[in-house]
Amino acid sequence: MPAFPIDKRGRQGCLRSLGSQSPMFNQNEDDVGDERLFSWRRIKTLVIGTVLAIVAGLVAVNTFTYFQYGGTMFDRYFEKKKKPSPMAGKLAFDKGTKYYIGVIRGEGHTSRLGNVYFIEQAGGNMIDVAKENVEVREPDRIDK
């Protein structure tokens, strides 16, 4: 008696594989070439796999940027817009010397200076200057 049973075709195998073989493992010699190259099943699998890869990539990139930089690429669409400072666009002068500093671009608070104006200087450099050291004037009126 052989160690493994023999099926109808004369092939040896284990008992479990003879009873219920899945089509994937039970391929006949005449099954070759049944599925076309561009079948709907292959196209559907390709599209679903592509969509899942894109979604997984977006999740990975946004998780990285959230932990590394504190925000995601979609923050500009979902965050509330901050109203610009009413002083934005006005001219900033030093209170003590009356010298021109630059154009005010915004307001904020820093731990070092307290309440500050964000001022763009003539060369394009941005600086923070404490509010108590700045005299604000309208752009059309410049006094010397």
Identify the sign of the CA torsion 93, 97, 98, 99: negative
Cα distances (Å, whole numbers) of residue 106 to 7, 79, 93, 100 = 84, 19, 15, 17
More confident residue, 15 or 64: 64
Query: Rounded to two decimals, what is the model's pTM?
Result: 0.43
Where along the chain do its domains lie? 91-137
Q: Per-residue pLDDT tens for 35-86?
A: 677 888 999 999 999 999 999 999 999 999 988 887 888 888 887 677 777 8
Statement: residue 102 has pLDDT above 90: yes
